[in-house]
A and B are shown apart, each in its own frame.
Chain A
Amino acid sequence: MASSSLLSPSSSTAANPAASISFSSSLSAAPLPRRPSSAFPRGGRRGRRSLSVQSKIREIFMPALSSTMTEGKIVSWVKSEGDVLSKGESVVVVESDKADMDVETFYDGILAAIVVPEGESAPVGSPIGLLAETEDEVAEAKAKAAAKSGSPSSPPPAPPAAETPAVTSNPAPAIAQPPPQPAAPVGVPGQIVATPSAKKLAKQHKVDINKVTGTGPYGRITPADVEAAAGIQPSFKPAVAVTASPAVAAEPAPAAAAAPPKSAAPAPPPLPGSTVVPFTTMQAAVSKNMLESLSVPTFRVGYPVTTDALDALYLKVKPKGVTMTAILAKAAAMALVQHPVVNASCKDGKSFTYNSNVNIAVAVAINGGLITPVLQDADKLDLYLLSQKWKELVEKARSKQLQPHEYNSGTFTLSNLGMFGVDRFDAILPPGQGAIMAVGASKPTVVADADGFFSVKSKMLVNVTADHRIVYGADLAAFLQTFSKIVENPESLTL
């Protein structure tokens, strides 16, 4: 704009060589009247005079494309950061009230930084980008841009932290299989090959494409690689593109299988006075797992178990630090050894995966979330060791110190709501496991025996939910029968 002459490079550098690092540059659609300089935020620049830098970094301002325009929307950046501009070239497209206008630069230089990205609006006269005169000043300009991007008008280019996948140090949710670790980087020397979309994404998320490891065909960098490097969830768009071609024989479509069915009905508007609290990472993971569980065909089998003998045993071992959780886990583990199919899982819908270990995951409500610490090899450890292990796990869970293998290695899950007086309930099968046992409270119950004599026994209802692709009704019934026998004759538990 015309006002740039107020701080023309020559005059200011001559007067004070150490001062004035930036000059108001001018970008304006040629035929349009130029904007007076009043909009220039000069005060800020004055403050930086003490930096004593001699470089020439010009700010690119939002031009006034009409007399009524107070702010403009960036339709698109014609040039990208790092592009060399020559005088008169279109740099950015700004939307005016009637049409989109190309805005040209009046200076040669390098587009060092984009302060206001595409789709954002900025008031007339505010800086929307930085133009560096030489390569050397690009870094400095970028630093300036970073300082500017603190302003509310510029959106964060970096993805919000909440979107990052669960990290190992965080306790991941119960019933949750955290995402697999990214594949180890494979060194690909020589030329970087990145697809057009990957390059665009890298620019958009400010990812250095040279540091991204390509996992695509021939080691090329795919959009997914860039997104992984940027630490964001795969965007929706590519997913559509992939699922768009499920019928193409050569193309596998894993995304299609993984994608949860989209709910068709729009959410009803919130009731007045309601508050919306976003999920924590753990809660989000629970939500995701719960949705995933819908793809598994499950069924439930209930069984009443007499617990008088178990209660007696519990009273005996309680002083030695044995917990009820450990006893139930041990009982379940022993039953699972005899019924390996219930300890199996169905990974691909085509086969059984028999697990060599019996790892009992136990659901624990914690900090508004849910987590499943795992008692590994519960069939092999004795009650005392199990109880000790359990205490450690609970302590770790409370302090968020659980390691991934301590919450995601379960082969069978135990959930107990008996302490609340719940007599029976129905658990949801976590993805990746074959069965989950829901244990109710043990209650004195009047029973009639074969001879017609009444007696009072303690009974508890257990209800197992299983994946019917691998565990059938008879399997589950037989397993429960074994479990019931073990509980009713608990001596074997202490062996």
Chain B
Amino acid sequence: MQSSLSLSFAAPSPRSRLPPAAAAAAEPSLSAPISLRFCGLRREALGFTPLRQPASRRAPAPRVQVRGRGKVTSASLSDNGSAPRSFDYDLVIIGAGVGGHGAALHAVEKGLKTAIIEGDVVGGTCVNRGCVPSKALLAVSGRMRELQSDHHLKALGLQVAAAGYDRQGVADHANNLASKIRSNLTNSMKALGVDILTGIGTIVGPQKVKYGKVGFTDNVITAKNIIIATGSVPFVPKGIEVDGKTVITSDHALKLESVPDWIAIVGSGYIGLEFSDVYTALGSEVTFIEALDQLMPGFDPEIGKLAQRVLINPRKIDYHTGVFASKITPAKDGKPVMIELIDAKTKEPKDTLEVDAALIATGRAPFTKGLGLENINVETQRGFVPVDERMRVIDANGKLVPHLYCIGDANGKMMLAHAASAQGISVVEQVTGKDHVLNHLSIPAACFTHPEISMVGLTEPQAREKAQKEGFEVSVAKTSFKANTKALAENEGEGLAKMIYRPDNGEILGVHIFGLHAADLIHEASNAIALGTSINDIKFAVHAHPTLSEVLDELFKSAKVNHPVTSSVSEPVAV
């Protein structure tokens, strides 16, 4: 599920001999020469930012004259093949999800004239059909869990009569949250002067994009740089018939139109796990179907084991691992949902399940059809737009396409909303003359179950593999939430924080947390990785007492680094 590659990257630029300062001023298509770290590319589900984009086969229509601004003046185009010399926009982003939004805001800050094209609703998957509404449902499920946990409440001395919920009320909460965030996003872009262009965006040639609604005349605009940020859609394996009622994807599930008595969840990654938390809190029973041999394949094995013990075993959940759902038929004609399971390896029929509903959470597929990539000789790989470490699009001949970038789920590097946004910012940095390579290993991820799971960097097996290849040692430090005062005060002592690090230089390779507010706690570790802070430095940082952050404090302090490297930020010395 996860792959981590360590790329040693030789900058392809002929000007790589330039000193960094010179390179920074160079054209963005030229890469900086030195010591840039590249990181594992983690493929994970829970991506965002799709854009409905049926392929439009119209010929390009006359382009619209857009008011010029400063140095950018409009120029008419004579032929399709050559790039225009002056542009309508400095930057055009196709897709107004979280990735496109992040890029647009940063572009405006950098003084770029920016437009964003959206064919569906602003906010993309994350805001409309992903992390945002799911957090609303999980907020409900967390409270339901607390109210239903008799022994937990009793231990706190609380008495609560039977808790109940109103399904429509819960669904409305999720929907209202999505609308609110969507309008915030829209307003923030409008306020900054980003042009929001409605329609399906298609690349018609170098630095040229057309957009328009079906049935209307297309507009063609030119842009100095183009970012593709069209995101992804739920991936439904073949053999599965989605009817939106009893066989559903996360898109439907987030509307919470029903709470089935028994729901099968196909896939036990982030999406499946979060929905199992929601459904079991609302009274459903859940059956997981996982193709790999263990549940929660993307997680560090130790964290996965603990998570299974807390999030799966005591709940009304059972599971089938090592099996594919080869055929799923929605409930009809008085029959329940039928799921045929086959062995993942031998492909032999194994079992048939009869359940009330099935949620397909097998990951997400890039939404890149109809982008017009064929016009610029780019071939997608399993739907993903191939890019280099600077998000520059690579064409069928392995060459970089100038002025074209792809961020977010559409490139598949790391299918997380905040990763898309970070990639977008990285691209804007590059097109404004400052080379930048995003360290994907510093991007945290979180699963908002109760308790939460969060992680950044490498898992232990990944780190050990890398260590063997590169010949360094790896150590692991662990702390338990059971030893944390705040966690015990909350009566939530179940949890573990784990750090994988190099004992020789104190570099943090990965941190994994399972426990109360893990998603909020991870950032101390992710920032340390992003900034290259050594354990030797961070262990002297002070944490307020009593707080959950002391779990990480303990973690850093318990690490054993062989040769303390003197901190670059040394004590102040009078000179």
Residues of chain A touching chain B, judged by Cβ–Cβ distance below 8 Å, are 75-76, 78, 90, 93, 98-99, 102, 191, 193, 195-197, 199-200, 216-218, 220, 236-237, 239-248, 250, 256, 259, 261-262, 264, 266
Contacts and interface: CB of A to CB of B under 8 A. Distances in A.
A241 B261 CA distance: 11
A198 to B, nearest CB: 8
Contact of B163 (A98, A193, A197, A240): A240
A72 to B, nearest CB: 15
B316 A247 contact: no
Contact of B352 (A75, A191, A216, A259): A191
A199 B287 CA distance: 11
A242 B159 contact: no
A244 B282 CA distance: 7
A205 to B, nearest CB: 15
Contacts of B354: 193, 218, 220
Interface stretch (B164-172, B203-211, B459-467): B164-172
Contact of A244 (B148, B168, B356): B148
B167 A245 contact: yes
B304 to A, nearest CB: 12
Given A99-B482, A200-B318, A218-B336, A240 B496 contact: no
B148 A196 contact: no
Nearest to A220: B354
Contacts of A216: 261
A245 B285 CA distance: 14
Given A244-B164, A245-B164, A262-B161, A98 B305 contact: no
Contacts of B314: 76
A264 B354 CA distance: 41
Interface in B129-184: 144, 148, 150, 159, 161-169
11 contacts: A195-B262, A196-B287, A196-B317, A220-B262, A237-B148, A243-B162, A244-B162, A245-B167, A245-B283, A247-B168, A264-B161
A247 B167 contact: yes
Contacts of B291: none
Given A218-B336, A244-B144, A244-B148, A195 B285 contact: yes
A76 B307 CA distance: 13
B329 interface: no
B282 A245 contact: yes
Contacts of B168: 247
B167 to A, nearest CB: 5
A141 to B, nearest CB: 23
A261 B161 CA distance: 9
Contacts of A236: 150
Interface of B: 144, 148, 150, 159, 161-169, 258-259, 261-262, 282-283, 285-287, 305, 309, 313-314, 316-318, 335-336, 352, 354, 356, 478, 480, 482-483, 496
Given A195-B285, A217-B336, A245-B283, A240 B162 contact: yes
A394 B262 CA distance: 51
A78 to B, nearest CB: 7
A93 B310 CA distance: 12
Contacts of B336: 217-218
A300 B408 CA distance: 75
A243 B480 contact: no
Contact of A196 (B159, B259, B285, B483): B285
Nearest to B312: A196
A227 to B, nearest CB: 14
A78 B261 contact: no
A199 B283 contact: no
B96 to A, nearest CB: 35
Nearest to A239: B162
B309 A78 contact: yes
Given A200-B316, A217-B336, A247-B167, A242 B283 contact: yes
A45 B89 CA distance: 86
Nearest to A191: B352
Contacts of A196: 262, 285-287, 316-318
Contacts of A250: 258
B166 A244 contact: no
A98 B336 CA distance: 47
Contacts of B150: 236
B432 to A, nearest CB: 49
Contacts of B482: 98-99
A325 B164 CA distance: 49
A224 B157 CA distance: 30
A145 B440 CA distance: 53
Contacts of B163: 240, 244
B476 to A, nearest CB: 12
B339 to A, nearest CB: 12
Given A76-B309, A241-B148, A199 B318 contact: yes
* Across the A-B interface, the 5 shortest Cβ-Cβ residue pairs: A196-B318, A197-B316, A247-B166, A241-B283, A99-B480
B338 to A, nearest CB: 10
Given A195-B285, A242-B283, A217 B356 contact: yes
Given A76-B314, A195-B261, A196-B318, 7 more contacts: A98-B482, A196-B262, A196-B286, A197-B285, A248-B259, A262-B161, A264-B161
A246 B356 CA distance: 19
A247 B164 contact: yes
A172 to B, nearest CB: 28
Contacts of B356: 217
A236 B285 CA distance: 16
A266 B305 CA distance: 39
A485 B478 CA distance: 88
Contacts of A220: 262, 354
Contacts of B352: 191
Contacts of A99: 478, 480, 482, 496
